[in-house]
Amino acid sequence: MPEQPNSLPHAPADRLEVGARLRQYWKARQVSGWQVAGLTFVFLWFFIGGIMHFVATDLEARIVPPYVPWPVAAVIVSGVFELLGAFGILLAPTRRLAGVGLFVLTLAVTPAHVYMLQQPALFAVPLWALWLRLPIQAGLLWLILWSTWRPRRAHALV
């Protein structure tokens, strides 16, 4: 009787090989405990911040510099992108792209921080807190990159 191409005697070895490849794939995608902490912080920062764009839209729109057209629309659009980025970093396949998006978005809102520093009388925030926002933002940029940007590894499943 001729041997079947998918005969049972070879199945356990094939399953072991596929299992080993899957383990190797998932091991390459794992993040360290510190990176999980960083991802958690970044997620919470942008999730809470994104929600605030909808809960306190008028307050958020006040910090948009006057040269930016349609401040309310800018707040809503940036809030949507904050939420998309927050959820995007939770999934390994979208983490890198979401990290890049959050990094760019964080840079894009920098003019609002500078505007608040230039016009502190318009805001009920202590001047020291306005200055503190800039190094916090630099730290946030670093944390976004560090926690979302992992080198790509070869991990083909074929």
pLDDT one digit per residue (tens) for the chain, 158 residues: 555 555 555 555 666 676 666 566 555 556 778 899 999 999 999 999 999 999 999 999 999 999 999 999 999 999 999 999 999 999 999 999 999 999 999 999 999 999 999 999 999 999 999 999 999 999 999 999 999 987 555 444 44
Give me the pLDDT at residue 7, please: 52
Q: Give CA–CA dist 100/88, Å, rounded.
A: 11
Give me the pLDDT at residue 116, please: 95
